[in-house]
Structures are given as structure tokens and as C-alpha cells.
């Protein structure tokens, strides 16, 4: 039975959840034709009533076909989206409506930009328009799409791209617009996207003349995929871990049969494909993505090529986790998640074996599983098109993440030498730097607010302007905490934001921390320093909150363990705490 009749039958039989799961599975496996994405999205908008992120798409062109396609793309990535759009070329008025979406997508077109002979005046006018639009977002996250063209027009390709030409004007407009984007906004490079797919396939002139929608069916699908990646980047950030199979994935052949020098890695066109894939993966580590191995193999055999084969680009030290066993790979991924202290929803699993991919999809649906092509020359393209690791910015901590996890492995090894936890923690020689959040910290702080889930008492996703306002308010406490030990630096690992309540109490609006340092008394140290700062600002009482999510259960008892009494416990599991600062018990920490 084809997909949509099957969905209808399941719904009629009272199995709507099964129908929704079936649709997501088909989208994940890339079994839904591009031309059916609009239908899939309309079905979702009608049938799905669960929790979803509200997206508003506003454009200078017609946007009516984008919402269903975007909803289908998001559903296939495990991102439920409720998408609406506005009237044609009515952006400022639509932003005044006050419906407060979570994310606003702004889509330009070239009618105004290309009018007139004065390029700079047209660019400045457009910049002014978008800056007014950005000022009306009311706390919504922003995804800004760039300008593009359908063809070079009567100037021809050479003149249109020359200084003063139509294409040159569009490119200068994009450069100016991107340079002025508000912090925390995502940029979608429409010129690059249409170029990848080919403009004659991406756009549809007839469609534009009839409806003012410039995109073809394939263009809408490609736009939906790109917007989904951008929305995820502004909401939760990129995926964090790429888990790799080895045989016929990282190299050609089976190392247990050929030995470390017999694998295909360089001498043939096939070997060059595997080498190019390793180069790509190595590049991911330089921008903060962690690599891990999940291979059905003897551990010694699996590690030999990294040590003995000089043609290998990847080395053992490039991997934050290495699982080479004969256990089911779902177990390997669970162990990796525990070892790395990261949620499985931050994992991407890349394996040439379709049976292994399907098992992971069934047993660990939160893991992203690309549909890996048979030809290894397509491996790099597969990950590029998946856009799993799209990031808004690259911070110092991102660049150092791989080395931080290598140091973490050294810490874990050192722990086995001690009979007591106290002895181990004392041996780490932990030192912290606590300072008021400033402009140097702001980008990283907002990044952590957007993606930290496990050690996060309230999981409030504040943006740049809100954090900056608290930074500048003398009544607020805004602290960033960095931790080092004898094995190296952890970077900026904790953020605490305190704001005044109406009754003269300092409320802990946000307390988040990296999972890498949980259980080492860093949280106790953070609390001590927060209370010191509160006292210095004249506060005598402090209020704490715990707001439960699907991922932060481990910090539910934290305020109670610190000695704060519960003053309110709600049906949803959230709790409110209140205490006199001077009545709180002392806490013990090994951080100096």
C-alpha cells in the first residue's frame, strides 16, 4: 500500500500515532518523493496536535507553499513545526500582529532592490527595511534568507556579474545584510542553495508570473530542508557527535580480513573517496564536532589502521569515544552517550550497512541516521546535504572541544588510581575563574542558553538582547564560570543569571552547566560564588526554581540538596524554593 492511503487507513483504525510514526520513518528514509512533501505537510498540519515550535514565514514573494513543505521537512528530522505564513509583501504589518511565534523566517525578493539605477541607494533602502523588520521581532528567533536571481537577464552573465550589474548588486546586498544580522540569527544563503541545485531546477518562472512564488517543487523542498537546519541551529544548535562505522565506511574493505595495510584508503579512486571522507570528518573536529566509533569488530583489529597505516588521515586521538565490540550498535551508542555525557539526540550515526541503520532508527529514534549512498564518493555530499552540524557561530570553546574530551579521557583514567572520590577530586587540582558576563562572553553564553538541556534548572532560551540587558543592570547577577584542572581547561562551563523579583528577592532565573563537570563539586562552587555576589548587591533572600523538561531530571533535587526549602510544588513537577541567604548551610567544594 502506498504511503498516503496507509496513513488514512491507520487514522481510521484509531492508530494516529502509528500513522505519524510511519510518516516520519518514510521521510527519514528519503522514501517520500519531493513532489509529495507539500501533501505530507498538509496532512501533518491537519492531524498533528502535539507540542510543536511555532514558525512564521513572511516574504516579499508569495510564501503559501512553504509552510506545508517546511512542516514535512521538520517532521522527518524529529522537529515538530507548526508553520504559518503571511500575506504577500506585507512583512512589517504581519510583524505587528502580536502572535509571538518562536521563529520568524524572512524571505526577500528582488523587486525593490533591482529598481532604479543607483545600486547603493537601493541597497541602503533595503537594509533600512530589514532593520525595521528585525526591530519588531518581539523576542522571536530570526532566520533571514538572502537575495538571489533566476537568471542574468538582458545584461548577460558577464555584465550582470561585473561591478554595477544586477548580480553584483544582489551580492553586495547579501554581504551588507549578513554583516548587520542581529546576534543569534541564522543566515540562509539562497544564492548558494540555488546554485547547488541548479537555478533552472530550483526556480519556476511560470509559477512566479502566475502566483508570485518563484520556487519550483524541487526548490521548495530544498528550501524546506535548509530552513529546517537553520531553525534547529537557532533553537538547539548543531548536532554534537558523528558516530562512524569503520569497515567500508571510514576505509574500504574489512580490516579483520585484509589487515591494517590492506584496507582501501588511497591508491585507487575508491581509496581516494574514503580518504576524502576522512579529511571531511577531520575538518568537523576543528569546529567542535566530536567523532566516535561504533564498529562490530575486534577492538585490536579496529584500532590497528589508525596506528600502523600511514595513509590514514584520522588518528585514534581524533575520537572522543571508541566502541569496537560485537554487541548491538544501539548498546554501543548508549555507552558512548553515557561516556560523553551527551544526549542521544545530539548524535548522527553514519554506517554503510542499511540493516544497521534501520536497527538504530528503530531502537534509538532520537539519533539522526543519514541514508548513506552505496558509492563512497557520495559520503561527503551525504553529510553536507544533511546539514546536521550547521552552526550560527564558531566560538573558542567549539574549536577546543575535541582536545577537551581527550583531556576528559585522561581524567577518567586517573580516577581508577584512587580508592575514594575525595582523593580523586582533590588530585584534579581544579581552579575556577568567575566573572561578570561581558561582551567577550556574550556569544558563548547565548550559545549555551540555546542548547544546554541536562544540567539546566529552568531551560529558558534567552537571546542576546535580554542577556545584555541583565549584564548592564546593576540589580542583576550575571556570572560566567570557567574551570581548569591539571589535565587542561574545560572552558566556559557554567552560567548563572539572577534577576530581582518584586519582593526584593534575587531569583535564579537561569543556572546551567556543562555535563563534563557534573559531580565534581563545580555546582557547589558556582552556588557559593552566586551567593557572594548576591550579598554584595544587598540581597538577603534568594529564590530558586526548577522547571522540569524531558532531559533535566538529574538536577531536580539540586536546590533541596543545597538547603533551600520548597515553598511551592506544582502538578507539572515544577518547584519553587525560597531561603534567607545567611541561613543556608555551607557547602563543600574541591574547586579552588
Q: Is the domain of 444 the same as that of 498?
A: yes
Residues 108 and 119: their CA atoms lie apart, in Å, by 17
Residue-wise pLDDT for 198-253, tens only, equals 999 999 999 999 999 999 999 999 999 999 999 998 888 889 999 999 999 999 99
Identify the band that residue 547 occupies on the pLDDT scale cut at 50, 70 and 90.
Answer: very high
Give percent of the chain with pLDDT exceeding 90.
72
DSSP state of 38: H
User: How far from 22 is each of 6, 16, 86, CA to CA, in Å?
Assistant: 9, 10, 31
> Could you tell me the CATH number of the domain that includes residue 327?
3.40.50.1000
Q: Is the domain of 191 the same as that of 163?
A: yes
Q: Is the domain of 208 the same as that of 260?
A: no
Q: Is the domain of 182 the same as that of 259?
A: no
Q: Is the domain of 377 the same as that of 252?
A: yes
Residue 531 burial (10 A CB sphere; 0-12, 13-18, 19+): buried
Q: Is the domain of 445 the same as that of 560?
A: yes
Residues 220 and 127: their CA atoms lie apart, in Å, by 25
Task: Note whether 10 and 3 are within 8 A (CB).
Answer: no
Q: Indicate the helix (H) or strand (E) that contains 144.
A: strand 141-145
Q: Is the domain of 247 the same as that of 376?
A: yes
Given 386, 411, 434, the domain boundary residue is 386
Q: Is residue 408 scored above 70 in pLDDT? A: no
The mean pLDDT of the chain is 91
Residue-wise pLDDT for 341-372, tens only, equals 888 999 999 999 999 999 999 999 999 999 99
> Could you tell me the CATH number of the domain that includes residue 210?
3.40.50.1110
Residues 215 and 553: their CA atoms lie apart, in Å, by 44
- 23 lies in some domain: no
Q: Is the domain of 188 the same as that of 335?
A: no
Per the structure, the count of domains in the chain is 3
What's the helix, strand, coil split of the chain in %, to 5? 45, 20, 35
Of 391, 401, 399, the C-alpha closest to 184 is 391
Given 235, 252, 276, the domain boundary residue is 235
User: How far from 51 is each of 81, 435, 503, 519, CA to CA, in Å?
Assistant: 9, 37, 34, 32
Q: Domain containing 272: what range?
A: 241-386
Q: Is residue 416 scored above 70 in pLDDT? A: no
Residue-wise pLDDT for 490-532, tens only, equals 888 899 999 999 888 999 999 999 887 888 899 999 999 999 9
> Could you tell me the CATH number of the domain that includes residue 561?
3.40.630.30
Q: Is the domain of 202 the same as that of 275?
A: no
User: How far from 48 is each of 23, 235, 378, 517, 580, CA to CA, in Å?
Assistant: 11, 21, 35, 39, 47
Q: Is residue 273 scored above 80 in pLDDT? A: yes
- 309 lies in some domain: yes
- 417 lies in some domain: no
Q: Is the domain of 517 the same as that of 448?
A: yes
Q: Is the domain of 454 the same as that of 567?
A: yes
Highest mean predicted confidence (pLDDT) among 36-45, 232-241, 264-273: 36-45
Q: Is residue 541 scored above 90 in pLDDT? A: yes
Q: Is the domain of 101 the same as that of 39?
A: yes
DSSP state of 581: G
Amino acid at each position: 500500500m502506498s504511503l498516503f492511503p496507509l496513513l488514512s487507513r491507520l487514522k481510521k483504525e484509531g492508530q494516529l500515532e502509528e500513522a505519524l510514526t510511519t510518516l516520519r520513518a518514510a521521510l527519514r528514509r528519503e522514501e517520500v518523493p519531493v513532489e509529495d512533501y507539500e501533501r505530507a505537510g498538509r496532512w501533518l498540519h491537519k492531524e498533528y496536535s502535539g507540542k510543536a515550535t511555532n514558525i512564521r514565514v513572511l516574504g516579499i514573494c508569495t510564501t503559501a507553499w512553504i509552510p506545508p513543505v517546511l512542516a514535512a521537512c521538520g517532521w522527518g528530522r524529529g522537529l515538530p513545526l507548526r508553520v504559518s505564513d503571511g500575506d504577500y509583501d506585507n512583512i512589517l504589518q504581519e510583524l505587528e500582529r502580536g502572535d509571538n511565534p518562536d521563529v520568524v523566517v524572512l524571505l526577500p525578493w528582488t523587486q525593490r532592490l533591482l529598481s532604479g539605477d543607483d545600486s547603493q541607494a537601493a541597497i541602503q533602502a533595503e537594509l533600512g527595511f530589514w532593520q525595521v523588520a528585525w526591530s519588531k521581532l518581539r523576542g522571536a528567533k530570526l532566520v533571514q534568507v538572502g537575495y538571489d536571481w533566476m537568471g542574468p537577464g538582458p545584461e548577460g552573465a558577464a555584465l550582470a556579474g561585473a561591478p554595477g550589474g544586477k548580480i553584483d548588486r544582489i551580492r553586495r546586498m547579501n554581504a551588507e545584510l549578513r554583516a548587520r544580522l542581529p546576534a543569534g540569527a541564522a543566515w540562509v544563503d539562497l544564492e548558494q542553495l540555488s546554485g547547488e541545485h541548479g537555478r533552472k531546477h530550483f526556480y519556476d518562472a511560470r509559477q512566479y508570473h502566475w502566483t508570485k512564488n518563484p520556487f519550483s517543487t524541487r526548490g521548495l523542498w530544498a528550501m524546506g530542508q535548509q530552513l529546517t537546519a537553520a531553525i534547529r541551529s537557532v533553537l538547539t544548535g548543531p548536532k554534537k557527535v558523528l558516530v562512524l562505522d569503520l569497515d567500508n565506511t571510514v576505509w574500504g574493505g574489512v580490516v579483520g580480513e585484509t589487515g591494517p595495510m590492506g584496507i582501501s584508503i588511497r591508491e585507487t579512486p575508491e581509496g581516494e573517496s574514503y580518504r576524502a571522507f576522512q579529511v571531511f570528518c577531520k575538518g568537523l573536529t576543528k569546529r567542535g564536532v566530536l567523532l566516535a566509533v561504533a564498529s562490530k569488530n575486534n577492538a585490536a583489529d579496529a584500532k590497528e589502521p589508525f596506528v600502523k597505516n600511514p595513509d590514514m588521515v584520522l588518528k585514534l586521538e581524533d575520537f572522543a569515544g571508541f566502541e569496537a565490540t560485537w554487541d548491538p550498535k544501539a548498546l554501543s551508542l548508549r555507552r558512548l552517550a553515557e561516556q560523553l555525557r551527551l544526549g542521544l539526540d545530539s548524535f548522527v550515526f553514519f554506517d554503510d550497512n542499511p540493516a544497521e541503520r534501520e536497527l538504530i532508527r528503530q531502537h534509538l529514534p532520537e539519533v539522526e541516521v543519514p541514508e548513506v549512498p552505496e558509492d563512497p564518493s557520495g559520503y561527503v555530499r551525504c553529510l553536507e546535504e544533511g546539514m546536521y552540524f550547521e552552526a550560527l557561530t564558531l566560538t573558542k570553546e567549539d574549536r577546543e572541544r575535541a582536545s577537551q574530551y581527550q583531556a576528559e579521557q585522561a581524567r577518567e583514567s586517573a580516577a581508577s588510581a584512587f580508592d575514594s572520590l575525595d582523593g580523586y577530586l582533590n588530585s584534579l587540582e581544579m581552579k575556577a575563574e568567575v566573572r561578570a558576563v561581558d561582551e567577550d562572553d556574550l556569544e558563548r553564553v547565548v550559545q549555551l542558553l540555546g542548547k544546554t538541556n541536562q544540567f539546566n534548572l529552568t531551560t529558558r532560551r534567552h537571546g542576546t538582547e535580554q542577556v545584555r540587558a541583565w549584564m548592564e543592570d546593576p540589580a542583576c547577577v550575571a556570572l560566567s564560570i570557567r574551570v581548569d584542572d591539571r589535565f587542561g581547561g574545560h572552558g566556559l562551563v557554567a552560567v548563572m543569571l539572577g534577576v530581582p523579583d518584586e519582593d526584593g528577592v534575587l531569583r535564579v532565573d537561569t543556572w546551567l552547566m556543562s555535563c563534563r563537570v557534573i559531580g565534581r563539586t563545580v555546582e557547589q562552587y558556582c552556588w557559593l560564588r552566586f551567593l557572594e555576589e548576591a550579598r554584595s548587591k544587598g540581597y538577603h533572600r534568594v529564590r530558586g526554581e526548577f522547571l522540569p523538561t524531558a532531559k533535566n531530571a538529574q538536577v531536580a533535587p539540586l536546590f533541596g540538596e543545597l538547603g533551600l526549602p520548597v515553598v511551592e510544588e506544582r502538578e507539572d513537577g515544577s518547584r519553587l524554593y525560597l531561603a534567607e541567604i545567611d541561613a543556608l548551610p555551607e557547602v563543600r567544594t574541591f574547586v579552588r
